[in-house]
Structure 1
Amino acid sequence: MTTRILPAVGDAESARVIATLLSQLPGAEPAAPVPDSTSLLDTLARLASDSIDELPEVVLVHERIGPLPVLELIREVALRFPAVGVVLLTSDASPALFSAAMDSGARGLIGLPLAYEELAARVQAASQWSVGVRRHLGRGPELPSGPGGKVVTVTGAKGGVGTTFAAVQFALAAVAAGRRTALVDLDLQAGDVGSYLDVQFRRSIADLAGIQDISPRVLQDAVYDDRTGLALLLAPADGERGEEVDDRAARHVIAALRARYELVVIDCGTQVTGANAAAVELADVAVLITTPDVVAVRAAKRMVRMWERLQVRKAEETTMVVNRWSKQTEIQPALIEKITKTRSVRTPVPANFKELQAVVDAGRVQDLDNRSTVKQALWTVAGELGLLTAPDAPDAPAAAEPGAALAVRGSGPVARLRGDRGALGSWTRRGREG
């Protein structure tokens, strides 16, 4: 039997040693090592989207993989790809680490430096376990067999650009399309999802913060099933409790939601915290909302650059949605796309607050008239983002390719964005750091 092995090793020398030993294992089919946790999760998700049978039987994770802590990475792989046997490579073979690795979902631990006999034994054991799990999954169609639901984050370039309204409309559009959808308020100190939907619920995401293994029953107790069809996981009513939700808690909650829902829409607010940075890193689609004005576009660029510096998300992997747009707006989406180095959706969202004022003031945005041009645009954007179709359905239209910026007219906002080197700094010097 052939055993497919995927090493996750950031250090080039360690990767060379591991590849040499794996090539000597009988029946082994080692893949090229992946250099970091993001690449590992992306690779596994791509393989699982085709079939569970495309996944490697064994994943070897080196202790210094990064940027995700190794035990968190093992837990994430075990939750999202339960048919993969994960083996930890570490120089610390203490009982405490062994216990922690097993609790995270590892199927074995190998001490460093590597010894051929131990590597062969652990790989064989993990492979046999993986084959047994796949055989079991093949008999149970209701059990998970892929990467889980899609996670979409919605972040605002700054306050007041319409982040929460957009997130709510994306989620409502998905429910209307028949997708089982959760809407999470990760704006932990100032979350307004409940206010927008006229919902009061005593449980919040903070109630899940201290729980290591979130069972379906525990998750259900914290989620509010709204009459709209949305499953709501709200921000804490007391803003100071937001500090309880760190990046680790956010990863656990997102993994639990991903396993239960087809789509998870997360309102990340406008501030970068450990929790929402983890959400953006894990997201299949990361949306950044801006408005076509100088201050908001500058804020959007700052946000993108911060994500890159923190190794959260690359600019080209971020999708920009322009809110409150009009044909008369001097700063057009093509220019915003060029400045931020992001990808813009084809459909800008028009400026028409009069359509929204009544439902926003009433806290009933779900009652927005279907004839609303703003609602129609946001639901169209949801389709462009692939939120309205199941993963095995035909792909939604891709975001528009970057276009040329409009010509500069006088000394207006476009000229200020393109020519103000002192204010914009590296915007005009280079597109991206790191």
Structure 2
Amino acid sequence: MPSQFSIVIIDRDKQSRDAITSTLKPYTDSITLAGSVDNFSDGALVIQKAAPNVVILGIDDIEQGIKDVQFITLKHPRVSVIACSSEKNVEWFLSIMRAGAVEYLLRPIGQEELKQSLQKVGRLLLPTPVEEMPAGEIISVYNPIGGMGTTTVAVNLAAALAEEGTKVALVDLNLEAGDVNTFLNVNPTYTLSSVTSNTERLDANFLMSVMTRHPSGPFVLTEPLEVDEAVSIRPEQVRRVLELLRGIFSYVIVDCVGQLAGCNMAIFESSDQILFTTTLSLPALKNTKRYLCAMERKGFGKDTVKLIINRYHPKSDIQLKDAEKVLARSVYQSIPNEYLDAVNSINKGTPVVKLTPRSPISKAIQALADRLKQ
């Protein structure tokens, strides 16, 4: 990033333009205002001539706003668009972000808000370089049909690994019905779709800025807010996000559910370890056997895919040795069935390993974390 970067303002609202210009004044040593115009036609010419880093685009009509954002991002892919509007409608926000904007701010834009927005697009007023570190490990927690405790395992494993300053990311890639935000009681402004809609301009600084740090330690990237957004996410976008996360974090824990296709295949191909999570019931074991065989045919064998038995009860009709015989696979880790501890942690938005570290669940998850570190 150059020591000086430029901004163009395009906004019909003169009061809004003046307010933004005034807000930028303290940063004249690092920001150049290349132009401030009241219509898009003139703005397009200024962008063509000045090649700014950022365009602050006023939007008063959603359909026209979408077209304007798409025009800028397609014609000038290196330009980051910050949209501003007086409209608080969530649909406007989602539509403009999907069109390619990196931010959607409400008028009038305050100084701190604008500063934070510029940081989020990776054009930092006060640069904070991302630490150079060895490539991290991607660990996906998976079951094809859900309901087997993948989110419980993923959330608690991420918290268990995030000790002594270890940087851990927790990514909800259950695109059909993700629950990480519920388990951790977070309501983030930005979700997975905030980064997948702009992967061609995605960098480590922007990715870090949209993730939510949970008090238990992990940095969280949650599932999209809307079903339509989840459907539009493509495998190559998932690969890009995971590879960037690998370069930032020591561990990237991915919660995923669904078929062996599309985004899940992108996740598995990026993963160093796949924790196949199931339970000791006949239907679950039957399905597990089908999928373990299918995964092996696709190149994900015993070295990569580890068997996790969740909700284990020692007095169950089916024992661990029975499961190992049926599946022809050793159990990597069993996690006890402690329903009350699990539910209590969800209700309080705190992982079991932090809320009740002496719980049998916590001890089993910590043992899993320790084993994965080896």
TM-score w.r.t. length of structure 1? 0.52
Alignment correspondent of 1:234: 222
Structure 1 pair 377–143 and aligned structure 2 pair: CA distance change class (3 A)? closer
Matches of 1:171 and 1:363 in 2, distance apart? 14
Matches of 2:366 and 2:175 in 1, distance apart? 26
What CA deviation, in whole Å up to 9, does each residue of 1:323-382 have, x standing for no partner? 11122223222332343344421x421112022222223433355311211111111112
Q: Is 1:290 aligned with 2:306? A: no
Q: CA deviation at 1:177?
A: 4.7
Amino acid at match of 1:205: L
Matches of 1:281 and 1:198 in 2, distance apart? 30
Alignment correspondent of 2:151: 164
Alignment correspondent of 2:142: 155
What CA deviation, in whole Å up to 9, does each residue of 1:65-114 have, x standing for no partner? xxxxxxxxxxxxxxxxxxxxxxxxxxxxxxxxxxxxxxxxxxxxxxxxxx
Q: CA deviation at 1:295?
A: 0.8
Ranges of 4+ aligned residues in structure 1 off by more than 6 Å: none
Structure 1 pair 143–381 and aligned structure 2 pair: CA distance change class (3 A)? closer
Matches of 1:296 and 1:157 in 2, distance apart? 10
Paired residue for 1:275, among 263, 277, 286? 263
Alignment correspondent of 2:337: 351
Alignment correspondent of 2:349: 363
Paired residue for 1:253, among 236, 241, 254? 241
Paired residue for 1:223, among 206, 211, 217? 211
Matches of 2:152 and 2:362 in 1, distance apart? 10
Alignment correspondent of 2:185: 198
Contact preservation (8 Å) 2:159, 2:351: no
Alignment correspondent of 2:93: none
Q: Is 1:329 aligned with 2:316? A: yes
Alignment correspondent of 1:108: none
Q: Is 1:263 aligned with 2:251? A: yes
Q: CA deviation at 1:189?
A: 2.1
Matches of 1:157 and 1:344 in 2, distance apart? 18
Structure 1 pair 378–167 and aligned structure 2 pair: CA distance change class (3 A)? same
Amino acid at match of 2:156: Q
Alignment correspondent of 1:28: none
Contact preservation (8 Å) 2:239, 2:266: yes
TM-score w.r.t. length of structure 2? 0.60
Q: Is 1:173 aligned with 2:160? A: yes
Paired residue for 1:320, among 287, 290, 307? 307
Matches of 1:352 and 1:286 in 2, distance apart? 24
Q: CA deviation at 1:313?
A: 1.4
Q: Secondary structure at the match of 1:236?
A: coil
Q: CA deviation at 1:300?
A: 1.1
Matches of 2:334 and 2:192 in 1, distance apart? 32
Q: Secondary structure at the match of 2:174?
A: coil
Matches of 2:137 and 2:146 in 1, distance apart? 26
Q: CA deviation at 1:231?
A: 0.6
What CA deviation, in whole Å up to 9, does each residue of 1:382-401 have, x standing for no partner? 21222xxxxxxxxx3xxxxx
Structure 1 pair 338–245 and aligned structure 2 pair: CA distance change class (3 A)? farther
Alignment correspondent of 1:86: none
Structure 1 pair 290–299 and aligned structure 2 pair: CA distance change class (3 A)? same
Structure 1 pair 248–285 and aligned structure 2 pair: CA distance change class (3 A)? same
What CA deviation, in whole Å up to 9, does each residue of 1:36-59 have, x standing for no partner? xxxxxxxxxxxxxxxxxxxxxxxx
Q: CA deviation at 1:244?
A: 2.2
Taking only aligned residues, the RMSD between alpha carbons, in angstroms, comes to 2.0
Alignment correspondent of 1:299: 287
* Aligned residue-pair number: 242
Bigger relative contact order (CA 8 A; separation at least 6) = 2
Structure 1 pair 149–169 and aligned structure 2 pair: CA distance change class (3 A)? same
Q: Secondary structure at the match of 2:169?
A: strand
Structure 1 pair 306–229 and aligned structure 2 pair: CA distance change class (3 A)? same
Structure 1 pair 207–379 and aligned structure 2 pair: CA distance change class (3 A)? same
Structure 1 pair 368–336 and aligned structure 2 pair: CA distance change class (3 A)? same
